[in-house]
Amino acid sequence: LQSGFAVIILSTGKEIVSNLIASPVLHLTQPFAQGDWVTLENGAIDGWVQQIGPYHTLIRQPDKRALYVPNYKMMVANVRNNSRMTHRRIMCTVPLRIRDIPKISQIVQEIQMMLNEHE
């Protein structure tokens, strides 16, 4: 019983120490800041950083749910800071009918003109 209790204390202590070490490292390296839109773990976590605390980072998801991520997980996760992107890529499918095939070059030109006008 005592050894099981000791294992629980040690694993809990390890996470607390990891969070305490991760917090200053996050503040020094600044991979993200309050207000940044971030994506973690291949899109599993997505939202805006609201607060970076000593133990966890609060991320507000698009549906307004609060997600508290331990700082040590923020250190080891692949963090994509979407707020720091200089360019955006938009992919969309444009459905065409078979009878529109001869008009493809005209359609492409019109799309290109529209994109150029809205830079």
pLDDT tens for 18-69 read 777 888 888 888 899 999 999 987 778 999 999 998 889 999 999 999 999 9
Rounded mean pLDDT, 84-94: 82
Q: How many CA atoms lie within 13 A of 41 on its CB side?
A: 10
What does pLDDT average to over the chain? 85
Give the pLDDT mean for 12-18.
73
- pTM recorded for the entire structure: 0.63
pLDDT at 9: 61
Statement: residue 17 has pLDDT above 80:
no
Q: Is the pLDDT of residue 115 over 80?
A: yes
Q: What percentage of the chain exceeds 90 in pLDDT?
A: 33
**Residue 112 pLDDT exceeds 80:** yes
